[in-house]
Amino acid sequence: MIFGIIGNTEKSELPETLNNFISHLLKNGFTFILDEDLKDFIDRKLLNGNLKFLPINDLIDESDIILSFGGDGTILSVARFIGNKEVPIVGVNLGKLGFLAEIGRDQIYNFINDLLNGNYIIEERMVLEAEIDELEGIKLSALNDIVVEKSQTSRLINIKSYLNDEYLITTMSDGLIIATPTGSTAYSLASNGPIVVPSGKVIIINPICPHTLTVRPIIVPDDYIFRARVESHNGEAMITADGQVEIKLKTPFEINVKKADYPIKLVKRKDISYYEILRSKLMWGKDLRTIWDVLWKKY
């Protein structure tokens, strides 16, 4: 098994974590490839071990599994590079929250053995694909969400929405989130959207701060095609994929969003469930009064 190693170079924890992990791999004879962007973060004594560095696209082509060191944002970025190549991703969490990157940096050593022994689960996560009529030939992909929102103005934008070419609603709002079940715990959750289990075969359509209290998120089957016509007072709007790829467009324009014909594969531990992650990350069932007392005394 060949491991491809990719890391978020903006994380202060990366150099120490990465060098300790590479030392472990070399000591135990594992085969691995490093993203060329990591070269400056490797100790010189390890560089003498004939380490292999490749550009990220070549690394993905030659790897059986990708180890992503960072957080959920790093996984989203890696997923965009992987696209339809079906290479599974292991998320090693160097951040704080992490719904996708669930392996702790101290847990990765044991999990490597689990990978070799087949003691893991691969989950297939839905990907969204967006096309804009005014940008022929350009497609945006997202593991979390496609967002249409206002650009550089406090004024609301007008979005006329359709499902399978049937008129749904026209909203005045800050924008609209079209999210996968994976993305239900991201921007959509912060906008009062529902939490959907990752295996759910649905798409979430969630308005951002609509100018009426009666507009609410709607969940539709994942084979539906969502279409929207976007207009704004200042003649501009922004389309964002996974919060990482942004395109500013002149309005009016139309956007179509549907499920892509390929999933992203995430490697998961067998000994932890999605519900356990929710309880841990969202602190369900914890006495928040006790937590605030601790923070108050600390600061």
> Where in the chain does DSSP place strands (E)?
2-7, 31-35, 53-54, 65-70, 89-93, 103-104, 121-125, 128-132, 139-142, 145-150, 157-163, 166-173, 175-179, 202-208, 218-221, 226-232, 236-241, 245-250, 253-259, 264-268
CB neighbourhood size of 11 (10 A)? 16
Q: Is 72 a catalytic residue?
A: yes
- Give yes or no for a contact between 103 and 92, defined as CB atoms under 8 angstroms apart: yes
Three-state SS for 207? strand
- Give yes or no for a contact between 171 and 161, defined as CB atoms under 8 angstroms apart: yes
**Looking at 37, 40, 72, 145, which residue is catalytic?**
72
Q: Which of 247, 213, 214, 218 is nearest to 230 (CA)?
A: 247
Going by C-beta distance under 8 Å and a sequence separation of 6 or more, which residues neighbour residue 254? 132, 133, 134, 227, 228, 229, 230
Amino acid occupying residue 131: E
Residue 26, Cβ density class (10 Å: 0-12 exposed, 13-18 middle, ≥19 buried): middle
Helices and strands: H and E segment counts in the chain: 8, 20
Residues with active-site annotation: 72
